[in-house]
């Protein structure tokens, strides 16, 4: 039986895409790079920040210096933004509260910076709602390295064999595979058709209600 539910943040728990896209476009404008239609950003996000920025820069202007310039500007803009369009997906709070009621441990694993992730979790969820929250720090590997999963399992005092990973992108699938745990793929995020059909995906779900049914009734 699985006892620990590890969830990705952006695109799985919380709809952050609009505010992320707006801040990236402003960062691109301020640093002199071409901007993109908001709908294009679903294809850019996923992975660490360096990878995301590299996807939106022109091939002939995608050096390490270019990426660092946009990344630094974006971080400042996103941190100071009030993020008016960012909120948990419909039905997500009901799902999480039911899982907690049934005794599951809940955790967040994200490539969002740890301080920013902590602030956003504190803003959008009740105090101490999650048993562990692991984001990106420069002194430790980012997803898809399984380091975050190991840290969460250690913090929750549960073995990896009792964990399941829930995410919406390629980095989530790879993180779960690298940790040796099942990945449940949600279809409401920014994942691609290639992600959905990845052989490493355990199940795909279309709604939080379907996810709840899977997590609470599946014979793992």
Residue 1 pLDDT > 90: no
Domain count along the chain: 2
- Domain stops at, among 25, 57, 80: 80
Do 163 and 134 touch, CB atoms closer than 8 A? no
The verdict on 71 and 159 lying in the same domain is no
The verdict on 175 and 71 lying in the same domain is no
Return the CATH number at 76: 1.10.150.240
The verdict on 135 and 180 lying in the same domain is yes
Question: pLDDT tens for residues 7-21?
Answer: 999 999 999 999 999
For the question of whether the overall pTM of this predicted structure is more than 0.85, the answer is yes
C-alpha angle 46/179/167, rounded to 5°? 35
Alpha-carbon distance 181 to 175, whole Å? Answer: 9
Instruction: Tell me the H-state helices in 58-91.
Output: 64-80
The verdict on 46 and 110 lying in the same domain is no
Residue 46 pLDDT > 90: no
């Amino acid at each position: 039986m699985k006892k620990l539910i590890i969830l990705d943040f952006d695109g799985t728990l919380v709809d952050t895409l609009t505010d992320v896209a707006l801040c990236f476009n402003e960062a691109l404008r301020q640093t002199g790079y071409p901007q993109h239609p908001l709908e294009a950003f679903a294809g850019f996000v996923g992975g660490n920040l360096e990878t995301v920025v590299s996807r939106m820069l022109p091939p002939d202007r995608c050096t390490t210096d270019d990426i660092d310039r946009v990344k630094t500007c974006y971080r400042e803009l996103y941190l100071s933004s009030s993020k008016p369009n960012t909120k948990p997906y419909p039905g997500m709070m009901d799902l999480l509260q039911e899982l907690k009621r049934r005794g599951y441990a809940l955790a967040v694993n994200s490539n969002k910076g740890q301080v920013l992730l902590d602030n956003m979790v504190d803003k959008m969820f009740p105090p101490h709602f999650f048993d562990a929250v692991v984001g990106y720090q420069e002194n430790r590997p980012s997803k898809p390295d399984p380091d975050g999963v190991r840290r969460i399992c250690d913090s929750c005092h549960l073995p990896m064999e009792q964990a399941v990973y829930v995410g919406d992108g390629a980095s989530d699938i790879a993180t779960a595979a690298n940790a040796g745990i099942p990945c449940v793929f949600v279809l409401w995020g920014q994942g691609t058709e290639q992600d959905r059909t990845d052989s490493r995906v355990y199940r795909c779900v279309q709604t939080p209600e379907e996810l709840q049914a899977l997590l609470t009734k599946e014979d793992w």
